[in-house]
Each structure stands twice: as structure tokens, then as C-alpha cells.
Amino acid sequence: MNELNAFFYVSCSWNRNIVRTVVALFQVMAGERSPLLTHGVFSVVGEGGDSRRASTSAGDTSSKASPRTLNTFFGVMVPTILSMFSIILFLRTGFVIGHAGLLQGLLMLGVAYFIISLTILSICAISTNGAVEAGGAYYMISRSLGPEFGGSIGLMFFLAKVCACGVYVLGLVEAILDIFGQDPAVGMAQGVRVLPQGYWFSVLYSSVLLLLCLVVCLVGAHIYAKASFITLLVVTVAILSILISPLLVGPRHFSFTHTLEHNRSITHNGTYTGFNSSTLANNLAPGYSLDYSTNRVMSFSTVFAVMFTSCTGIMAGANMSGELKNPSVAIPKGTIIAVLYTFTVYVLLFLLTSSTCDRLLLINDYGVFQRINVWSPFVIVGVYCASLSAAMCSLIGASRILHALAIDQLFGLPLAPAAITSQSGNPWVAVIFTWALVQCTVFAGQLNVIAGLVTVFYLLAYAAVDLACLALEWASAPNFRPTFQLFSWHTCLLGMLSCLVMMFVINPVYSSASIVLLLLLLLFLHYRSPTSSWGYISQALIFHQVRKYLLMLDSRKDHVKFWRLQVLLMVANPRSSCQLISFVNQLKKGGLFVLGHVQLGDLDMLPADPVQQQYNFWLSLVDKLGVKAFVDLTLSLSVRQGTQHLLRITGLGGMKPNTLVLGFYDNSYPEDYFLQDPAFCDGTGDGPGGPEGDNFGVDLPSLQAHFPPVRHTESPRSLQPEEYVGIISDAIKMGKNVCLARYFHQLPPEGKGMTLKSRDSMDTIDVWPFNLLSAQGSGSFADVCSLFLLQMACVLNMAAGWRKARVRIFLCVEAESGDQGWLAKEERFRDLLGKLRIRATIKIVAWDSVMRMLRGTDPTAPPSVSEEFLNKVNLLLKEHSSTGAVRFLYLPGPPADSSQSQQYLAQLDAITQGLGPTLLIHGLTPVTCTEL
């Protein structure tokens, strides 16, 4: 009833959205000044900007762009070198050689730099594929992989920066206590060693230093940027002093006292021999032993975790992307030069340390470079400058990542305050929040304790960068054409796998926990479904793979065993057809489901195609109904011609509709589903975008306004019976199965929790597998169309909401006649159901009186379908099938003479009058198979 009325009410008027689009099109044609890309990386006319800024108001201070003033050297090389040297260079080089030996130390260094080199190739490729805005690595990952991966990896990278800041602060405290801390053996102040030592004192000193970093970041973050070059000079002088010291300093002996558990003290003696071949030979092999700071025996993984912390600064330059004059040039060039420089320095220091210091000295003194230096203040100042610089760099970098996450609004209200900035653009709320988290990490008390966690977080972030580049390469998107070409999908894949393997080598517990946290963040963001204009790499990958598999899906290889229902449901106004859409969604069972719509009009008379602007509304409707359907719209002079177009061109390759579903043609008037479902009338459900999302530009009021009101009593029909029957004939000529749906507005909507599970357990799926309008219809229960009805009922019975329903098959027989052949036919039919694995109850219906009415008194006269016969059939259906939830009836073929179209529809209307949800089916294709 309602579905066909909705189908045939096709409005020829343009809605206001189309009018606005046409006006905008004329403006563009007249002016030609509009940017061609309104949401991408940049505008063709030069208005570069982050897509995040497009979503904020013009007066939002959080979206103000920082001036781009830094070049390659100051913007990339200096921060990268300082971050990679940091505290590890001065305080843990001897630790690595002492425990791992020179050979394994060089192996660790080679593995670490191999991993970061592969990641650097990916960073260079992504950064040279377009304009890079503020946000650094987070920006590149999020804009490459989309909001879900971008947000989750961005938060993980933020946590890595937080933990790294804690490592640098703890390392600085360690260096300070090494000079100014009281000797544990003496237990009192002596000279400059005035600072008491202990866990809580270390936390106190760390908190004071962290507070200093906070003040600098809040009041004068620019001071750090201006002083970074001076810091690099100081660190370089310190390194040079270490390299020349063996030439000027003779052999020395040292004594060390360490406090172990239960306040036990132990004293070790170490020797600095100067360049000595015996010392080098003794330091070649590993010698893992007890670490005096953590009282734990070291291993390859724990030492590598500490050493790899020195390699976690490769993105320091990329994180300055918002301040770089030319990020696409500066990031690759500066990062590669900085990594080569630091690698050379580390190799020289490894060789120098293993050739001049014995193992006891290296294991028992983190500050060995200070003791053997030609002038110890060189190293002391270098340590302090490097560690303080790295700590502030991590604090600033982490706060900028948090600020970027807040601007993108991926996590909603919890991070919203972090978007607040000062008048100068400093994100002070993000800085304070980051400082508070770093303060929590310093309670670890020792650098080596959290070094493994820092390494795992960074490795996960590096793996994400490699994944982003790999996905872009695999997607084969035409717009992915970076100017940096020294990479391939092999390097991306190898880099990602190397990062993941090393994560578990270093610490399986931390690695597993970080991956679980990442998956939880992914699920959270996927559930929130934040919309963005960044582009979704998942869509590019899906397109790439679907195209491949569609080419492999050969329709010539179709077999009846694997037949699927693939439906084209014609809908003009979903306001009256939502229940039918939901029902067909259940009926398809893994098959293709396409919603078709015909817009009446002539493209020659229109300035633009009105159909293209409607797709977003229909897709939003599909999202709100929760159905798995595609949408295909067309513009045509008539509904029949438009339906022919859709039947021919809908689908692709082997995925094309094989069944056409239409609403029923009757005289009743449809009901407005939008007025019944709260999700459509009061805004309680906002679809996948959530209450605050824009559903890709379609909100609830726009959705309501787009679809016109349903046809009422004064509205004429735009479709005549001849055209409707012609559509059925066209579909049959094209080899498509046809279904006519009536009374499906009576099915309770799924969204209200009124599925079949909550109905009476006696509800059934009723099948009448023969032609009720033919005198020979009951002669065979197993023709192609009858078997198609059985298959449809079986498929529906497999759907989640219909599994508790019972399938009933009604066989009409002439029981009063002397011929008992129907008993044999019934037995054969039961045997067929067993071979087809269809579980159903067979009901025998005697319809002798109905057949007598059809044949009349003259047995030689042709059967006459009278009104009394039709009413009798209708009463028979009501008598036996009134309790059914849905009925499947045999649809007779349409008449060849179009003048009989109205009579044909009147007969269908009469036999289905008042039945409830009914599907009239005309099946043409074999769909069942008894073979294995």
C-alpha cells in the first residue's frame, strides 16, 4: 500500500539545497575566484591553511598561524641533534659499552639507526607530498591515515614525549647528584657535595627542575628557540673535549661506593688506561651484570632500551613544521644530516670508550666522561645543557601535540581546554596539562626504570609513520607523489615490522599494554566517528582492493550453489518506506542491496544535474536507518525509463541486482515514518556523527527538509497503472526477479526494539508456492518460481530478527475429488524440502470450492477470474495465514496487453486486501541446489 505510493510520488520541483547549489555554480562560473580546493592541504589560489582552521571561527585564537621563520639548520638540524644527544650521550655511553661490550654495542647502534633510518625515509616521503602544517608527526599521521589512526597514534606519541621529558629530567638530576650529592659512604656534606640523596630527594629535585621548564615554556618559550644554537655549541665543545681527552690525560684509578638493598654498601675500583689494546680486547665481548641504580641484572633488551632512547629525537625537526619556512625541503634534508652526524659521533665515542676504560669503571660510574675529561666542567656543562634542552624540547613538543589534538576535537570535551591559547598563540593550558603528566612520571625515580616505556612508545609511533607511508604507497593514489623518492613499500614494511619486533624484544609487557591502549583508542574514535576533511586512507585502500576483487569476480563463473539475493529497491520518498527498507536489509543476507530513486526531469533543460547534490542526504538516511545499502540515483523523463536505466547500469562487474522490489500500487495513502520514529522527529539520534557531528554536512533538519511530505488525499499520482505494470514487464524481460511489497508499514520499526524477538512466538513466515489465479497453479509445487519463494523464506528465516519464526508452507489441493494424486505430490514435496535442507511445516488447504468458482459450471469453458473468486481467495488466505508475520505469495506474470494493466493490478489488490505484510514474488532464475 504505502510503499508504492511513496515510490510513485516523485516530485519535479527542486528543493532549496539544489537551488543554492545552482546559484553557487553560477557565481563560480561568473567570478572564477573561488578556491578549487576548499578543504585540502592548500588552496590552488594560494590560501594555504590547515583544514582544522576551516572548522573554527575566524576569531578563534587557537587557530592563529605562527610565523614561519626557521630554516633547515635552526629549525630541523639543531633540535634533532640536541634531542638525539641529550642525556644518553654523556651518561649512558659507558653504561652501554660496559654491559654489552663494543661488538654488541655497535650492533645495538646499527639496529637502532637502521630502524630509524627506515622511518626517516617514510617521514621524508610524507613530508614532501604536500604542505605540512603545525603538529609535526601527529599532523602527518592523522592527515595520512585519517582521524581514527591519527588521533590514537597522536595520543600515544604525546605520551611518548611526556615519558621522554621525565627521562631527561631524571637524567639531569642524576648528573647533578653525581657532582653535588652527598657521598653515601660518608653520609654528610663534604665540600660541594651538599645535596642529600634518596628516592624522595630525587623526586623533589626533579620537580623543581620540571617547574623551571614549565616557567620557561609559559613565560618565554621563545627563549628556548633562541638559545638552542648556543646550547648546540656548548654540547659540541663538550664532545670535542671528550674526544681529545685521551691524548692529554694519563691513566687513572677510581674507587666507587654504591648502596644496595638493606642499606648495604659495596665498593668497586675502576681504571682509566688511556688507549690500550688489552682494554679494547677485554671490552669486545658482553658482560651483563648488576646495574647499581636499579639493582637489576642487565640484558641485551634492557641495555638496548636505554640506548635507543638516544634515537628518539628524529622527529624533533618534523615537530617544528609549523615554524619552518619550507617544511617539505627542510624536514628531509635537516633530519638526514642530523642523523648522519649523530651516528658518527656515537661510533667515535663507542670506540674511544671501549679502548680507554675498563669494564668495572664503565659499569659502576655513569659519569665516566666527566672523570676522564681534560677539564671536567666541559662535560658537566654539556650534560646540564643537553638534558635541560631536551627536557624543554619534549615538554614543548608534547604540549603542541596535545594542542593539535584539542583543535581537531577528536576526543571531545576532555581535551577541549587544551585548545586555549594566550594572545601570542602559546597553548598554556596544554603546557600545564603536559607538565602535570610529566610530574607523574618522575615518581619512577630512576632513568633506567622508564627508559623502556619511552622506547616502546616511540617505536610504536615510528611504526605508525611507516604504516602511513606504506598505506599511501599501497593505495596507489594518484595524488601521492612525494618529491623524495628514496623509499618503497619494502622499506616502509621493513621499518614497521622492525619497530614492532624490537618493541617486544625490549619489553613484552610494555609493548602488549601499549598496543592494547592503541586499540582501545582506535575503538573509541571509531565509535565517535569524527568527521573530517583530511581524507581517509582506509577508503583509498578499500577502493584499491575492491577494484581488484571486482575484476576477479567473473559472472561467467556463477553457480546456483552460491546464489545470493541482490536487490534493487525502488523508493521515491523514504518517509513512507523505511520499514520496507529495513525488511529488505534483513532479507538480502549478505547480498547486494541498492536503494534506487528516479528524479523526474530533463538534463537539457537544467543548468546542473540535481541528482548529484542528493547523494549525501540518501547516504545519511542509510546511516540513520542502520542498513547496509548502496544508493543509486538517476534523472529521467519518466519513472519507467529511469527504472530501466537503473536495472541496466546499477552495480559493477559480477555485483549487479538480480531482483527488483517495488512498493504495491493501491488507492491507500502512505503514512509518514519520520513522524513516528523519535530518531527522525525529535533529534534523539544523530547518526554516526553523534549529537555534535555534522554527518558529512547533513544534519537532522536538513534531512527532514530534503525529503518532501508524503502524498495526501488531494495529491494526484504521478504514475499510471500502465507504467507501473510496464516496469514489471521490463524487469522480467531483463531477466530480473520481481517482488511487490504491500503493508510493510505495519511491521514494527527495528529502532524501537520491536523486532520479531519481542513478538509472539507463534509468528510465522507463510509461503503459498503456487499461482492462486491459475486453474493449473496447484498442479505443481516445484516450478522455478515456487522454489524461488521457498528460497526467499529460507533466507529470511536465517536473518537475526527472524530466526525464531517458523516457516509454514501451504499446499492447496482438491481433496474432494476422487483423484488422490495430490498425496503423492505432497510426499514428493516433503522429500524435496529434505534435499533442500529447508525446515518447514507443511499445511494442506482444501480449496475445492474456490476452484469450482474459478472453473464455473461449464468445464469446457476457459477459467474466469471473477470478483467472487478473488474475494474467496482473499478469505482463504486470511483464514489460514492471519497469524503470519509476513506472507510470500506467487506473483503471476503481467499481461502482454497494456490495456489489461488496471485489471491485473485490481486482481492483485483483491487477493491481498487486508492480509498484512505481504511479498508477491515472480522468480525467474534457479536458486536452489540439492548437490553438495
pLDDT at 910: 92
pLDDT at 358: 92
Q: Which residues contact 179 (CB under 8 A, 6 or more apart)?
A: 192, 193, 367, 370, 380
Cβ contact 81:342 at 8 Å? yes
Lowest mean pLDDT, pick from 95-104, 174-183, 221-230, 265-274: 221-230
Closest to 313 (Cα-Cα) out of 298, 335, 292, 295: 335
- Lookup: cell for 452: 623502556
Closest to 647 (Cα-Cα) out of 598, 600, 613, 604: 598
Residue 418 exposure: Cα atoms within 13 Å on the Cβ side: 26
Whether the predicted pLDDT of 669 surpasses 60? yes
Mean pLDDT confidence for 149-172: 85
Q: pLDDT band for 282, please (50, 70, 90 cuts).
A: very high
Domains and CATH numbers, the chain: 79-528 (1.20.1740.10), 562-680+697-922 (3.40.50.12370)
pLDDT at 702: 78
Alpha-carbon span 633 to 643, nearest angstrom: 10
For 513-539, give the DSSP string. Answer: HHHHHHHHHHHHHHHH----SS--HHH
Residue 259 φ then ψ, to 5° = -95, 125
pLDDT at 44: 31
Cβ contact 695:686 at 8 Å? yes
* Cα separations in angstroms, 298 against 37, 102, 104, 722: 55, 16, 13, 87
pLDDT at 155: 87
Helices 93-127 + 327-356 axis angle, to 10 = 160
Mean pLDDT confidence for 906-932: 85
Whether the predicted pLDDT of 23 surpasses 50? no
Mean pLDDT confidence for 167-196: 77
Q: Write out 477-515 in H/E/C secondary structure.
A: CCCCCCCCCCCCHHHHHHHHHHHHHHHHHHCHHHHHHHH
Greatest mean pLDDT among 75-84, 335-344, 878-887: 335-344
Mean pLDDT confidence for 839-855: 80
Of 529 and 755, more confident: 529
- Please measure the distance between the N-terminal and C-terminal CA atoms of the chain and give it in whole angstroms: 41
pLDDT at 526: 76
* Cα separations in angstroms, 906 against 496, 816, 862, 913: 67, 30, 20, 10
pLDDT at 24: 41
Mean pLDDT confidence for 331-360: 93
Q: pLDDT band for 103, please (50, 70, 90 cuts).
A: very high
Percentage, residues of the chain above pLDDT 70: 81
Alpha-carbon span 611 to 634, nearest angstrom: 7
Alpha-carbon span 122 to 158, nearest angstrom: 20
Q: pLDDT band for 930, please (50, 70, 90 cuts).
A: low
Helices 199-219 + 376-408 axis angle, to 10 = 60
Cβ contact 608:21 at 8 Å? yes
Helices 508-528 + 447-475 axis angle, to 10 = 50
Alpha-carbon span 656 to 202, nearest angstrom: 70
Q: What is the pLDDT of residues 498-553, one digit of tens each?
A: 999 988 888 899 899 999 988 888 888 877 766 666 767 777 778 888 888 888 88
Q: Is 323 exposed, middle or buried (0-12, 13-18, 19+ CB in 10 A)?
A: middle
Closest to 587 (Cα-Cα) out of 888, 200, 858: 888
**Cell 610530574 found at:** 439
Amino acid found at 294: T
Residue 306 φ then ψ, to 5° = -70, -45
Dihedral angle computed from the Cα positions of residues 869, 875, 878 and 880, in that order, rounded to the nearest 10 degrees:
-90
Lowest mean pLDDT, pick from 389-393, 829-833, 856-860, 905-909: 856-860
Greatest mean pLDDT among 137-146, 194-203, 606-615, 708-717: 606-615
pLDDT at 637: 92
Alpha helices for 536-594 (secondary structure H): 537-552, 578-587
pLDDT at 741: 94
Cβ contact 353:362 at 8 Å? yes
Q: What is the pLDDT of residues 41-57, one digit of tens each?
A: 333 333 333 434 333 33
pLDDT at 798: 87
Whether the predicted pLDDT of 700 surpasses 80? no
Give me the residues paired with residue 252 across strands.
272
Whether the predicted pLDDT of 832 surpasses 60? yes
Mapped onto helix, strand or coil, the DSSP state of residue 593 is strand
Give me the residues paired with residue 595 across strands.
569, 631
Cβ contact 172:87 at 8 Å? yes
Q: pLDDT band for 283, please (50, 70, 90 cuts).
A: very high
- Lookup: cell for 567: 536487490
Lowest mean pLDDT, pick from 55-64, 90-99, 392-401, 672-681: 55-64
Alpha-carbon span 730 to 724, nearest angstrom: 10
Whether the predicted pLDDT of 697 surpasses 80? no
Q: What is the pLDDT of residues 44-93, one digit of tens each?
A: 333 333 434 333 333 343 344 455 677 888 888 988 888 888 777 888 89
Q: pLDDT band for 396, please (50, 70, 90 cuts).
A: confident
pLDDT at 420: 87
Of 135 and 593, more confident: 593
Mean pLDDT confidence for 874-899: 90
Amino acid found at 386: A
Give me the residues paired with residue 807 across strands.
765
* Cα separations in angstroms, 724 against 228, 581, 720: 78, 20, 6
Whether the predicted pLDDT of 2 surpasses 70? no
Q: Which residues contact 208 (CB under 8 A, 6 or more apart)?
A: none
Q: pLDDT band for 714, please (50, 70, 90 cuts).
A: low
Which stretches of 697-840 are assigned E, i.e. beta strand? 737-742, 764-768, 806-813
Q: pLDDT band for 490, please (50, 70, 90 cuts).
A: very high
Report the mean per-residue pLDDT for the chain.
80
Alpha helices for 220-258 (secondary structure H): 221-248
Mean pLDDT confidence for 882-910: 91
Q: What is the pLDDT of residues 723-750, one digit of tens each?
A: 999 999 999 999 999 999 999 988 876 6
Q: What is the pLDDT of residues 535-546, one digit of tens each?
A: 677 777 788 888
pLDDT at 30: 37
Alpha-carbon span 323 to 134, nearest angstrom: 7
Of 483 and 208, more confident: 208
pLDDT at 894: 92
Residue 863 φ then ψ, to 5° = -60, 140
Whether the predicted pLDDT of 845 surpasses 50? yes
Q: What is the pLDDT of residues 413-441, one digit of tens each?
A: 888 888 888 877 778 899 999 999 999 88
pLDDT at 808: 92
Whether the predicted pLDDT of 273 surpasses 60? yes
How many helices (H) does the chain have, and how many strands (E)? 32, 14
Residue 483 exposure: Cα atoms within 13 Å on the Cβ side: 11
Q: pLDDT band for 110, please (50, 70, 90 cuts).
A: very high
* Cα separations in angstroms, 68 against 42, 45, 327: 16, 20, 10
Specify the DSSP class assigned to residue 805. S
Mean pLDDT confidence for 665-677: 79
Helix (H) / strand (E) containing 825: helix 821-835
**Cell 578549487 found at:** 36
The structure's pTM equals 0.66
Of 111 and 773, more confident: 111
Dihedral angle computed from the Cα positions of residues 398, 399, 405 and 409, in that order, rounded to the nearest 10 degrees:
160
Q: Which residues of 283-305 are buried (b: 16+ CB within 10 A; e: fewer)?
A: beebbbebbbeeeeebebebbbb
Percentage, residues of the chain above pLDDT 90: 23
Closest to 718 (Cα-Cα) out of 600, 861, 546, 830: 600
Mean pLDDT confidence for 142-146: 76
